[in-house]
Structure 1
Amino acid sequence: MNPNLLRPFGVISPLMALCIASAAWAQTVESARIHAVRPDEISWVELRKTPALFRAVIHGAQEKAGPFTFRVRAAAGHRLLPHTHPDDRTITVLAGTYWSAVGDTWDDSQLVAYPQGSFYVVPAGVPHYSAVLEGETIFQESGIGPSRNDMVVKP
């Protein structure tokens, strides 16, 4: 057989493979959905009046499998006693200053200030606590569910 007769197939086969791959990629891109929340779409739910505490679910749900993100808006005086989570948590301070410390017993002297723009990670299972000492603070917290807050109780 003349090898020149097969030459067109050597060009056509890779082109066909490229077309098929491009079509598959296009379907993946078209079926993907971007989850976006604009500031005016955030729905705050009041959890407590004094000191004021609000929460807004941004993405997913802490109780369900998969990634989740929520925001907390808290007034001065808010304290979250020592607790742990079964997953790593990432915290970004969006407004104000958030105070946090590692440990299973509350100790004001251990609190570290995280001003607006700060980011930190609390590893899974690490006892920690937090507070808002002045003004209003908004922070965003993310993790992988299913998750929960396990309060540390000392006798």
Structure 2
Amino acid sequence: MKPKAAVVIIGVAIATGSSLGSIARSETDTRAIISPKDVKWAPAPASLPAGAEAALLYGDPTKEGLFALRVKVPKDYYIPPHTHPKAEVVTVLTGKFSLGMGPKADRTSAKPIDAGGFMAMPPQAAHYVFADEETVLQITSVGPWSIDYIDPRDDPRLNIAPDGRRGAAQRED
């Protein structure tokens, strides 16, 4: 069996000192009203390739329970094939990206999804993402949430350059 790199996406933010952990809502919060101008963006956790930003709107993805998270990615951003242990519901708020299904990335078979598009994936559904332009996604799921890269060499936390930059491993295959 091929080993998987299980990474708790927001838990990593706390463990690596990212500011996302500091904006998590307490367990006693039962409602949230956030206007677009009040969304607080921070660097995404190290479990995502460099360049993404994230804003936690509701809940705490490191704990049991519902959460809502926005992720902003630049044009040409790529998330290698991965799975999540729980269902993932995603809405494209702005921009456009392409979603591919399966354990191997194939740009030609990825389906473009424009702003306003919606997708829901069951647990363990292998998928990958290419950003066709700067894109903001809203992810709703239940925690604890994690990302399991199909190929552990794609885990950006395993490829930290001496200068601290991170990114998907360079492979020869």
Fold equivalence (TM over 0.5)? yes
- Percent identity for Structure 1 against Structure 2: 25
Instruction: Give the alignment's TM-score, normalised by structure 1.
Output: 0.72
The CA deviation at 1:33 is 4.6
Per-residue Cα deviation, 1:12-70 (whole angstroms, up to 9, x for no partner): xxxxxxxxxxxxxxxxxxxx95321111211101238x973211111112111001111
SS at match of 1:131: strand
After superposition, the CA RMSD in angstroms is: 2.3
2:136 counterpart residue number: 138
2:18 counterpart residue number: none
Corresponding residue to 1:149 among 139, 147, 150: 147
Find the aligned partners of 2:56 and 2:103 in 1 and give their Cα distance: 27
Find the aligned partners of 2:148 and 2:100 in 1 and give their Cα distance: 16
Find the aligned partners of 2:109 and 2:62 in 1 and give their Cα distance: 30
1:129 counterpart residue number: 128
Give unpaired runs (5+ residues) of structure 2.
1-28, 153-172
Find the aligned partners of 1:101 and 1:81 in 2 and give their Cα distance: 10
Find the aligned partners of 1:84 and 1:33 in 2 and give their Cα distance: 29
1:46 partner letter: P
Q: Paired residues, what number?
A: 123
2:17 counterpart residue number: none
Name the structure with the higher strand share. Answer: 1
Contact 1:52–1:75 at 8 Å: present in 2 too?
A: yes
SS at match of 1:82: strand
Find the aligned partners of 2:76 and 2:82 in 1 and give their Cα distance: 18
Contact 2:32–2:57 at 8 Å: present in 1 too?
A: no
Give unpaired runs (5+ residues) of structure 1.
1-31
Corresponding residue to 1:45 among 42, 46, 51: 42
Distance change >3 Å, CA 148–CA 33, structure 1 → 2: closer
Find the aligned partners of 1:57 and 1:33 in 2 and give their Cα distance: 15
Structure 1 segments of 4+ aligned residues over 4 angstroms from their partners: none
